Amino acid sequence: MRMRIGELAARAGTTTRTLRYYEARGLLPARRTGNGYRTYDESDLRLLRQIRTLQDFGFDLEETRPFVECLRAGHPEGDSCPASLAVYRRKLDELDSLIDQLSTVRETVARQLARAELAAEAEAPGGPEPSCELGRHPW
């Protein structure tokens, strides 16, 4: 089924501007009719859905390219090619690093909360002074 840019955008839940941007980036090549209108088919809708799903997972647009190329090469899934698998591995490494950083921040905040709670309990004059470590970023 052939469709024009507006129909594809509506079916994919995006805008024609986004489709033109993807075309300019080489992710969604458009075929043209004799009068210059862009035309698309169901395979283009599938590419768009792959891009959108990956972006929902936190992949940036360029990271979706290997998945799109895998689909274009005729593979039934966009993540079955070696380049796609490599992107998954890099993304997992990136997420692991982020989790480590967030764990460090969480530990710092938990220590600060414990100190602040102790200081709040010490209502007597001369009680312990709160000390804030949040200004010293370990990450």
pLDDT exceeds 90 at position 85? yes
Looking at the structure of the chain, the number of domains it has is 1
Q: Kindly report which listed range (8-12, 14-18, 132-136) carries the lowest average pLDDT score.
A: 132-136
Asked if residue 117 is part of any domain, the answer here is yes
Asked if residue 130 is part of any domain, the answer here is no
Asked if residue 136 is part of any domain, the answer here is no
Asked if residue 126 is part of any domain, the answer here is no
Structural domain containing residue 26: 3-121
Closest C-alpha to 59, from 45, 29, 79:
79
pLDDT exceeds 80 at position 132? no
Strands 3-4, 31-32: pairing kind: unpaired
Asked if residue 133 is part of any domain, the answer here is no
- 31 burial (CB, 10 Å; 0-12 / 13-18 / 19+) is exposed
Instruction: Give the per-residue pLDDT at 112.
Output: 96
Q: What is the mean pLDDT of residues 18-47?
A: 93
Alpha carbons 13 and 89: distance in angstroms, whole number: 29
DSSP string, 11-34: HHTS-HHHHHHHHHTTSSPPEE-T
Q: What is the mean pLDDT of residues 113-120?
A: 90
Residue 108, domain CATH: 1.10.1660.10
pLDDT exceeds 90 at position 128? no
Closest C-alpha to 95, from 84, 103, 83:
103
Q: Which residue has the tokens 């490494």?
A: 93
Asked if residue 132 is part of any domain, the answer here is no
E strand or H helix at 96: helix 82-121
Asked if residue 107 is part of any domain, the answer here is yes
Instruction: Work out the pLDDT band at 121, boundaries 50, 70, 90.
Output: confident
pLDDT exceeds 70 at position 77? yes
Alpha carbons 105 and 42: distance in angstroms, whole number: 46
